[in-house]
Structures are given as C-alpha cells and as structure tokens.
Amino acid sequence: MADIFDVLADGTRREILSRLKGHGGEVSVTELVTELGISQPTVSKHLKVLRENGLVAVREEGQHRFYRLDAAPLAELEEWLARFSAPGAGGADDDPAHTVFNAWAGAEVGDRVGRAAADTAHSARAALEAAQEKLQGAQKRVSDRVAERFPRWGNDED
C-alpha cells in the first residue's frame, strides 16, 4: 500500500487524475499541459509515475500520447481504506469510491492523508535501512573478534 500513497501524496498527480476523470476519456499531454499551466516535461514526468503505478493507461498515436484514468488501483485502495471507516453514516458519501477519489483528487483531507502516508513510508524505510546498517556493523565486529581469537579459522593456507 505504501507505494500508491507515495504516488498520490503529490498534489500535481492528484490534479492530473482529477482532470482525467473529469474528461471521462482520453486526454492528450498537450491538453493537460494547457489545463494545468505547467511545463510539458513536468506533466510527462508525473504521467510516467502514474503509468508505472497502474493509475493511467496510455495510447500512442504517432508522436502524440493520449492518457486515460485506470481506476483499478484506486478500487483496491478504497477496499483497504474501507476497513478503517465507520459504517452507516448514510448518503452518497458512504460510497467509498466517491469519498476516496474526492479525497485524493485534491481535497484538504487528501493532502493530509497523502503526506502522512508518504512520511510514514519514508520513516519506515529509513528505520529499516538504519537497522540493516547496525546489523551489518554487528556482524563485522563479531567476525573480527572471531578472527582475533581463532586466527587459524580465518586462514585458508593451513
């Protein structure tokens, strides 16, 4: 789950997804550049991340690329998030697809949740890397001590 949170934590990517959903079909990169008011390389960079994570599909026609939303990964996310929501509040907002997509499409809640998830994923990765470094250091110290106490074990010439 952390990967999709990292992807959706970026406001520009959420805006791109929102634009793709709003068009209801395929949108060219040129149209997205115009609508978003950002450079083509920036839009392409974000579309690449979205494509690599299965959130958009692309169709190439000559030198033009047309993108469309692929909501399947969002559906998986909705199912996962639904386990944490209180059931039965009633109304259209109870539809997880509606609630989750609106949150990720740029609502303030989406910003907070996305940032918190990305920060948590980053912290977990950093903690794991630190633990791996400590373990490697401990293994080296043990190997060095064994070699000091039992020098013949480390010597293959005998």
Domains with residue ranges and CATH for the chain: 2-114 (1.10.10.10)
Diameter of the chain measured on Cα atoms: 80
Beta strands in the chain (DSSP E): 27-28, 56-61, 64-69
- pLDDT value of residue 136: 87
Predicted local confidence at residue 148, as pLDDT = 85
| Average pLDDT value for the chain | 79
Q: Has residue 91 got a pLDDT over 80?
A: no
Tokens describing residue 11: 């406001």
Per-residue pLDDT at 44: 94
Low-confidence winner among 24-38, 53-67, 83-97, 124-138 (lowest mean pLDDT): 83-97
pLDDT at 110 over 80: no
Those residues whose C-beta lies under 8 Å from the C-beta of residue 113, and which sit 6 or more positions away, are 103
| Nearest residue to 20 (alpha-carbon basis) of 65, 78, 76 | 65
Alpha helices (runs of H) in the chain, residue ranges in sequence order: 2-8, 11-23, 29-36, 40-52, 72-82, 96-104, 108-149
Q: How much is the pLDDT for 132?
A: 85
Which residue do the tokens 């909705």 mark?
Answer: 78
E runs forming strands in 25-140: 27-28, 56-61, 64-69
- Segment 104-114 shows an average pLDDT of 59
For the stretch 116-128, pLDDT in tens is 776 777 777 777 7
Give mean pLDDT, residues 1-26: 86
Task: Evaluate if residue 57 carries a pLDDT over 80.
Answer: yes
Q: Check whether 108 has a pLDDT greater than 80.
A: no
User: Is the pLDDT score of 113 beyond 70?
Assistant: no
Q: What share of the chain is helix, strand, coil (3-state, %, to 5)?
A: 65, 10, 25
What is the C-alpha to C-alpha distance for residues 154 and 45, in angstroms, rounded to an integer?
A: 51
Residue with the two structure tokens 């293959």: 156
Cα distances (Å, whole numbers) of residue 16 to 41, 53, 77, 99, 158: 14, 14, 18, 18, 67
